Amino acid sequence: MIKSIQLQNILNKKTKRHVIFQSLLLIFIIILTGELIACEKPSSISDASDVVIQYLEALKNNDNTTLQLLNNEDSDIITDSEVTLGVISLTIDKVEVSDNRTQRIKEQYTGSDLAKSYGWSDNYIHDNLIAVYAEYTVDYDNTKVPYDEGKITQYFYLVRTNSNSPWRIWASSYDISD
């Protein structure tokens, strides 16, 4: 009889341990899921600047593959993997979001036929279009490419699908008037 009671106590302890283990495992899974959801943050304005920096670094390294990844599918920037970029050197001086140019491009595209042709609503333009200003110095091998070189000032226009997707370069311009 004593052995039977001891056996029941041991089984009860094992059952309690098993329930405690399952409870701790469930708590761990809930916390991990919460952390993963929290890490899925919207792409921020600084991410847009980072994309332009990555683009210029890829240009510096003649890395067509990365350039293609950073461009939006509708991009007007040529990144044919067969094209030689001919960059000898490139130094980034300044990259920052341009609030003035962003406001101007949003006003220009809001309600426009061009925006409609891309399927962009006014809300989409307001939330997912940004202008980034870049100053850099570049030296090209002019036997390979006929690009302007020296001190370059350029605006990059970036778009994203939604606030959780990465920024991609859609267009650029060398017009520096604000």
Q: pTM score > 0.85 for this model?
A: no
Residues linked to residue 134 through DSSP beta bridges, in sequence order: 95, 154
DSSP string across 71-134: B-TT--S---TTS---EEEEEEEEEEE-HHHHHHHHHHHTT-HHHHHHT--HHHHHHHEEEEEE
- pLDDT (mean) for 91-107: 96
The model's confidence at residue 36, banded by pLDDT at 50, 70 and 90, is very low
The model's confidence at residue 33, banded by pLDDT at 50, 70 and 90, is very low
| Alpha carbons 155 and 92: distance in angstroms, whole number | 14
Largest CA distance in the chain: 98
Let me know: does 154 contact 95? Beta carbons within 8 Å: no
Q: What is the mean pLDDT of the chain?
A: 79
